[in-house]
Structures are given as C-alpha cells and as structure tokens.
Structure 1
Amino acid sequence: MDWDRAYANGDFIEGAADYPPKWAAAAATFRDALGDRARLDLPYGPGARNRLDLFLPDGAPRGLLVFIHGGYWLGFGRESWSHLAAGPLAHGWTVAMPSYTLAPEARIAQMTREVGQAITTAADMVAGPIHVAGHSAGGHLTARMACANAPLPPAVAARIVRAVPVSPLADLGPIARTRMNESLALDAAEIAAESPAYLARRAHTETLVWVGGQERPSFLWQARLLSEEWACPWHVEPGQHHFNVIEPLADADSPLTQAVAG
C-alpha cells in the first residue's frame, strides 16, 4: 500500500494549484463586503495562531456555528475560508472561524485543545445552540469536538447539538504511515487518543458525516468508518472531490449548508 498516494488529494484533481488562491481571493472579498459585521483577529489563547474571526448575521443570531479549516494539520488558516460563512449567515447563524497552531510546532492533541478553547471563547460571545463543521483535518477536529471526552467545559459541550465533519480523517493510523508524519509525529498513544472513530460520540450531539463522491478511496473509507463506528448517517455528494466538496457552504440554498445550518 502506498499511503502517500492514498492521501494525495491534489495529485488527482485537475487544476488543483488554482484552488488556494481562488479561496483566498473569495475570502478577502467576502470580508471586505461584510464590513463591521466581520470582527477579525480575536484572541482566544496565547499562541500566535490562537485567533478567530467572527461573522455576524443581519439580525439576532440563531446561535453559533464554528467552522474549522483543514490542511492536514500542516497548512492554511482561517483567512482562506471566510466566504464559506455566507451560507450559514443567510440562515441567521453567527459564524466563528478559528486558526490553530500547526505541525510541527504543535501535536494534534494540542490542536484539539486549542479548538476547544476557541469554541469556548466564541460561545461566551454568542448565546444559543452551537453547530460545528470542518473540512479534512478540520473534519477530524470537528469530530473530536463531538466526542464525549472533547476538551470543552460541560456547559459548552451541552450546547453543541450538531456536528458535520466534511471529508474527515477519523482514523489517524494511516496518516502515521505517510511522509506527513515526519512533521505530525503521531505515535500509537496519540493515534488512539485522537482518532474519533475509536472514541465515544457525545450522545446529544447529532452528527452527519459528509464526503464527496469523487474523493480518494481513502477518504470515502474514513467517512464510512466514522459513520459506522458512531452509528450516525453519512452522505456522499455526487461529483464532488476533496477541494470543491466544501465550496457549497457559500450558498445559502445548498444541501451542505442546509445540513450544517439546519
């Protein structure tokens, strides 16, 4: 088994290199257009990347929706994904997008704790129920926030009523077999502690696993594994690959936005 090939998304997506600049440009345009309804660079912890952006709906919020970015725990930040708040905002949700410390500076367990801190900070700013969604590595971190042992105060955990991990990495064992592990430094103990598929889901957090039908077989396997272990539904979106599966969040009427925002 060539584990690097199994998890090499961009190698199998036409025009893969064009996606990151397109995302960054769309995100910057969205922030500029939102004006004072975009509250940027809010600290939630002491680290340089312990910052979140908060996007406010037009009117009283229904609650808080937290979006966690991906990048294999090695790249990207919240700044590339601001435009994905558009769909949930149209449904009345306040949207928080945190960055977190990346590898090799941080282990995945630290990233889990930081995301828990970010959600706790945002929850102090916004009343009501909390939904969490994230993509790829952010899908992993979304699933961790739905775990019974997530690093969250009980009062905050009680408010998380829905989680939608998109293209999640639910079993970290295969990732430890890729060259990425030179930076991630996953070991057996952390694989066991940070693989959502092998942890208990918080009973009251409704979870829907979402994945693109044209993703690498490894990602389809990861998504199905999480749905089976957690006895929760999974949805395969036809024709979507790893880079465009998340883009419908910018559309208020898309099935993904409906799933995330409710």
Structure 2
Amino acid sequence: MKNKAEYYSQQYNARAMIPDHPYIFTRWLKDSAQARRTQAALFDLAYGEASGERLDFFPTHRSDAPLLVFIHGGWWRSLDKSDFSFIAPAYTRAGFNVALTNYTLAPEASIAEIVLQQLRALAWLYRNAEKYDFDPGRIVVAGHSAGAHLAAMTMAAVWPAFGADLPADLVKGGILLSGVYDLEPVRHADFVNIDLKLREEDIAVLSPCRMPQSHPAPFVTAFGGLESEEFRRQTGLMVDAWKASHVADIALPEANHLTICDAFGTIGHPLHAAAVKLIQEVTATP
C-alpha cells in the first residue's frame, strides 16, 4: 500500500495520466484563438481590482437571454480563461450568453481568496446585466476540475450575505465537470499542495460537499471514464451531498480529465445536450 501522499499525488496528477496532454492544450489554444477571431466578444472586463479579476463575455444573438458562466480549472494555479474560448460558440449558438472568468492563481492567492473572487465575478455580472443585455434572473454556472469546485462554492454561497442586493437564488443551476469537492485528499497531494498550502482547518470551509446548498439549484455532473478512481469518488461525494438537486450524471466512457472539456463544447455531444437542457429548464420563463 502506497503512503497517503504518494497515493493522492498519483490519483490527482491528471496530466501525468494523459501522455498527449501537450497536444490537447495546443489544440485548445488554436480552437480558442479561432473562436475569438470569429465570435463577437468583449475581453478582459474588470470585475475587481486585482489583475486576475477579469472575464470575457460572448453575447448570443438574442436579447435578454440566459447567461452561462464557465470557470476554468488548472488546480487553482494554472491556465487562463482564454484557453477555453473554444467552449463559447456551442452555447452562444444555442441562445445563451457566455462569460469565462479568470482569478488570481495560487500561490499568489489562496483558494479562499479565489472563491471570493468568483463570488465577486458573479455579483458583478448580476449587477451589470442590463449593460450587457442578459437576464440577471437566469444565470447558470459551469466549471471544470478546480473550476467545478469553484462553481459548486458559488452554489453554496449565501448571496444576500455577500451583498444586500443579491438574491438567494442568484445561481439557478450548475454543470460540474470532473471536480474536486472535498479538499482533504488534496492537502496530502504534495505536487499541488506545495502551491495551495492547504491546512487541516481549511478543509471544512472550502469543501462544497461538506456544505448545504444555499438554495435548491438543479445541477448535472460528469467525469471521464478514463479518469482516476479519486475523481470518480469526488463526484460521488458531491452527488450524495446535494442529491435532492442532482438531475443527472452524464456517462463519458471515452473521455479523460481534459477531453471532457471538448465534449462540453461540442454541439451534438450528449454532455453538451444535457447542459443545454439544464440551462433551458432552469431558466425557463414562467
């Protein structure tokens, strides 16, 4: 039996399990550059004062449409919103606005600080809905890996405590992809905790699966069939914790920890179809 640190480092080091990950990242960069050249968009909108507090906004073709907010992963310490622009066209064509958020990367920022930045981003979007012509009453969050953790944290947030003008149900639904929802194992994964510096006392307040939802927003989950047992277990923890709001888990037998993002951004893929269905259902006008 491997010791705890060795086991968790092996289980959570997704890039080490994907030999062609450099090729995947290069393809994302190429496809994202193409999306930015061909789609109407506003880049690097400041939602806060820190240099990392920026977001990109891709409008859809219709006025007053829902908003999908996508939060990128990278273990809270790498990647950028611009790496994921390729996701936007599949949703703007479906009639949704798309915002992709950045945050200050670890170790410059702690996970607690990054969570607050994402709350700030969503609050800023809600307050600026009229300016960017979307419906503030129809916001859905999505996230991948560390971004799924952050998306879940926005679903656990007590929004009126963060701002008196913010509704309790600011987030109407969620799409959680290959997330990490209990941070206790991450504390023992040396390859990443060298930057995150998680301590025992951080775990309960930063693990969404240990918290109640602040309101019953429906959500879907997915993880790749080629991912480690720990990523599978993490999704199970989130589903069990918020089972009353869990709509579906989408089977992706051929996907790994990275190609799940390709599935999410591909029109006609079952994951994209499930995401569109969720957004339509939770943002349907009465």
TM-score (norm: length of structure 1): 0.94
- Deviation larger for 195-204 or 44-53: 195-204
Deviation at 1:160, TM superposition (A): 1.5
Compared with structure 1, are the counterparts of its residues 159 and 259 closer, same or farther at alpha carbon in structure 2 (3 Å cutoff)? Answer: farther
What's the counterpart of residue 214 of structure 2? Answer: 202
Whether the 8 Å CA contact 1:68–1:138 is kept in 2: the answer is yes
What's the counterpart of residue 83 of structure 1? Answer: 86
Given candidates 7, 13, 19, the residue that maps to 2:12 is: 7
Amino acid aligned to 2:211: L
Note if 1:250 corresponds to 2:268.
no
Distance in 1, matches of 2:100 and 2:72, equals 8
Distance in 1, matches of 2:83 and 2:162, equals 26
Moved over 3 A (4+): 148-154
Distance in 1, matches of 2:111 and 2:194, equals 13
Distance in 2, matches of 1:225 and 1:74, equals 23
Whether the 8 Å CA contact 1:60–1:92 is kept in 2: the answer is no
Distance in 1, matches of 2:98 and 2:213, equals 23
Note if 1:184 corresponds to 2:199.
no
Compared with structure 1, are the counterparts of its residues 132 and 152 closer, same or farther at alpha carbon in structure 2 (3 Å cutoff)? Answer: farther
Deviation at 1:190, TM superposition (A): 1.6
Amino acid aligned to 2:221: V
Compared with structure 1, are the counterparts of its residues 93 and 152 closer, same or farther at alpha carbon in structure 2 (3 Å cutoff)? Answer: farther
Amino acid aligned to 2:276: A
What's the counterpart of residue 230 of structure 1? Answer: 242
- Helix, strand or coil for the counterpart of 1:208? strand
Query: Unaligned 5+ residue runs, structure 1?
Result: none
Note if 1:163 corresponds to 2:178.
no
Task: Give runs of aligned pairs for residues 1-262 of structure 1, distance below 5 A.
Answer: 1=4, 2-34=7-39, 37-123=40-126, 124-125=128-129, 126-127=134-135, 128-149=137-158, 152-153=162-163, 155-179=166-190, 180-231=192-243, 232=246, 233-262=248-277
- Helix, strand or coil for the counterpart of 2:97? strand
Rg comparison, structure with higher value = 2
- Deviation larger for 200-209 or 219-228: 200-209
Whether the 8 Å CA contact 2:169–2:215 is kept in 1: the answer is no
For each residue in 1:143-189, what CA deviation from the matched residue of structure 2 results, as whole angstroms up to 9, or x when unmatched?
A: 11111446754635423111011001010000010121111011122
Distance in 1, matches of 2:168 and 2:82, equals 26
Equivalenced residues, count: 260
Distance in 1, matches of 2:48 and 2:249, equals 33
For each residue in 1:98-127, what CA deviation from the matched residue of structure 2 results, as whole angstroms up to 9, or x when unmatched?
A: 100111011101111101111111222232
Deviation at 1:256, TM superposition (A): 1.8
Distance in 1, matches of 2:23 and 2:168, equals 38
Distance in 1, matches of 2:268 and 2:166, equals 31
- Deviation larger for 92-101 or 202-211: 202-211
- Helix, strand or coil for the counterpart of 2:156? coil
Deviation at 1:259, TM superposition (A): 2.4
- Helix, strand or coil for the counterpart of 1:257? helix
Percent identity over the alignment? 29
Whether the 8 Å CA contact 1:86–1:252 is kept in 2: the answer is no
TM-score (norm: length of structure 2): 0.86
Distance in 1, matches of 2:198 and 2:46, equals 28
Deviation at 1:246, TM superposition (A): 1.3
Amino acid aligned to 1:253: G
Distance in 1, matches of 2:61 and 2:167, equals 24
Query: Unaligned 5+ residue runs, structure 2?
Result: 278-286
Compared with structure 1, are the counterparts of its residues 177 and 77 closer, same or farther at alpha carbon in structure 2 (3 Å cutoff)? Answer: same
- Deviation larger for 230-239 or 46-55: 230-239
